Amino acid sequence: MTAPTTADLLALDRAAQDLLFRAARTANTFTDKPVTDAQVAAIHDLIRYGPTAYNGQPLRVLLLRSAAARARLLPYVSSSNRAKTASAPLTAILAADVDFHERLPELYPHRPQARDWLSDRPSRVEQARFSATLQIGYLLVGVRAAGLAAGPMAGFDAAGVTREFFPDGRHEALLLLNLGHPGRDAWERRLPRLSTEEVVWTL
């Protein structure tokens, strides 16, 4: 893809633009090459600096490394996502800690009373979802920053995965993510994107 001239207006160099956005694609197949714990730690160590409300950082990442854990997940995955989830070198459940407010006295020390502002569970759950989803955005960029392909999947039974993997009632599954190196026929053609005129308005 030829980068448009707007690319020259950015401080980020073109190779990085391509790595993170322009040439990056959601992979549907993966090679056998593993994704190591060190790579995952490097990704997290980068993206953990992204901003969240109250610095609450509610995202939690559950890596399914064992065959037994992967097998527990598959019944909850939509049929169209099952084959790739079974064959990806690594699959993660991305979840929100809906009791993230308990850590706020430590994470947001200049306003220790923030924990009490979030004592109402329904509004706290909404906040947890929002900030964890922002963090998933950073995480997808971070996976690409590691030179890996990300395969996010919204097609799954989120309530079922929450019950199966987070019986503590404290976490809520938001998205599944396959990680690896792209395999054969890893993607379809690029789908159309909205133009700036369609997305950005001015008052």
- Residue ranges in 27-86 that form contacts with its own copies under rule CB under 8 A: 37-51, 53, 55, 57, 59-66, 68-69
Cα 40 from chain centroid (whole Å) = 12
Q: How far is the CB of 184 from its own copies (least distance, A)?
A: 19
> Rounded to whole angstroms, how far apart are CA atoms 64 and 43?
17
Which CA distances in Å does 96 have to 101, 121, 196? 12, 13, 31
For its own copies, which is the closer residue by CB, 136 or 183? Answer: 136
Total binding residues toward its own copies, as defined by CB under 8 A? 81
What tokens does 145 get? 């920053």
Complex with its own copies: residue 20 or 74, whichever CB lies closer: 20
Closest by CA to 155, choosing from 178, 180, 184, is: 178
* Contact range with its own copies by CB under 8 A, out of 81-89, 129-137, 178-186: 129-137
* Residue 17 · residue 145 · CB < 8 Å: no
Contact of 44 with 196, CB cutoff 8 Å: no
Indicate the pairing of strand 171-180 with strand 149-153.
antiparallel
| Segment 99 to 128, residues that bind its own copies, using CB under 8 A | 103, 106-110, 127
Q: How far is the CB of 31 from its own copies (least distance, A)?
A: 16
Cβ distance to its own copies smaller for residue 87 or 133: 133
Return the range that interacts with its own copies (CB under 8 A); candidates 7-15, 81-89, 178-186.
7-15
Task: List the interface residues with its own copies, window 144-203 (CB under 8 A).
Answer: 145-147, 150, 152, 154, 165, 174, 188, 191-194, 196, 199-203
